[in-house]
Structure 1
């Protein structure tokens, strides 16, 4: 049985912006690089919930998400000496987590699902989600239940990279530029993947939102 992650932030708040590089992050990174390994605990405590959230939305499995979150932090710790601050620490950490998760999905051919319940009532700009705001609360609740299964099926047909772009943009609130940095691809590639994914999802779910 799959469980959902509680909604903590509105998509319109673009939560990633609050995770930009801070002097505090850099200070802890420098301490770790200087041999103070315990300073890494602060970074883990600060970012573990956000990292777990993105990984869970790619796997929809709490145990897998917990394991992959831990693996991502271990990889980050081992690679921290090579961190030069060219991007924000969280962008760098996100990249490690995304790559670790996508590798795991490809390797194990995991069935991974999208948690529609992570989307708050402050909906995104995507047409398929906008259709929900015209419903009453009771109608929306019923519709969300019906859409959950169909949306999972639709996203399961997308490649992990297309799924990741949707999750990063619609759920995590990253900009195209930020996604390109996290996934190490061009902004054009991000837009192309997002456009393709939205077309596929909208076509599949059109009958349920009309």
Structure 2
């Protein structure tokens, strides 16, 4: 969908056009799901749903319709981290029990490693390595200092690398 079309749909949805809202939902749902899944893990679908509800509840407050995806991304990250914390996954698990590279469960290793990271570390990894944001943009989105994002990213990548290669 073109940027002009998105802007038109956002403005129509802000005026209460239900067809435009449905079209925006179709556009945003997969995007929000791709963000929430790796951060909230098992809570990913719930986080995506909560994020979409928050987006549509607050849609009238969006001043720049062209910023829809970035705005939705910020909401999705916030909801994913919130639900992951609620699921008591804030403390990283013991990484010594991961299967080795030759183990037949290798396909589940990435998910297993992500499951062992804190929601804050998963959020930084998703924003940098999946969404491609730089540290400054990730810091703004998460409401953190750039140094904090760099530190979390370093720790998250280091933990992921150690768990993956063990």
CA–CA distance in 1 between the matches of 2:33 and 2:21?
17
Matched, 1:103 2:82: yes
1:38 aligns with 2:19: yes
Q: For 2:103 and 2:128, locate their aligned partners in 1 and report how far apart those are by CA, in whole Å.
A: 23
Larger relative helix fraction:
2
Per-residue CA shift, 1:138-160, capped at 9, x if unaligned? xxx9579548437724x444321
Instruction: Determine the C-alpha separation between the residues in 2 that align with 1:144 and 1:54.
Output: 28
Q: Counterparts of 2:14 and 2:122 in 1: how far apart (Å)?
A: 34
Asked if the contact 1:55–1:68 (Cα under 8 Å) also holds between the matched residues in 2, the reply is: yes
Instruction: Evaluate the alpha carbon distance shift between residue 56 and residue 151 of structure 1 in structure 2; reply closer, same or farther with a 3 A threshold.
Output: closer
In the TM superposition, residue 98 of structure 1 has moved relative to its aligned partner by 1.2
Query: Residue deviations 1:19-68, cap 9 Å, x none?
Result: 9x92322222211222323311111111211211221212333xx43332
Whether contact under 8 Å (1:91, 1:178) holds in the other structure is no
Q: After TM superposition, give the deviation of residue 82 of structure 1 in Å.
A: 1.2
Indicate the structure whose relative CO is greater, using CA pairs within 8 Å and at least 6 residues apart.
1
Q: Who is 2:6 aligned against?
A: 25
Shift of 1:87: 7.4
TM-score (norm 1): 0.61
CA RMSD in angstroms, aligned pairs only? 3.3
Match of 2:50 among 54, 58, 71: 71
**Which residue of 1 is the match for residue 112 of structure 2?**
152
SS at match of 2:63: coil
1:195 aligns with 2:142: no
In the alignment, does 2:85 pair up with 1:91?
Answer: no
**Matched-pair contact (CA < 8 Å) for 2:139–2:145:** yes
Give the TM-score taking structure 2 as reference length.
Answer: 0.75
Contact kept? 2:121, 2:153, Cα under 8 Å = yes
SS of 1:185's equivalent? coil
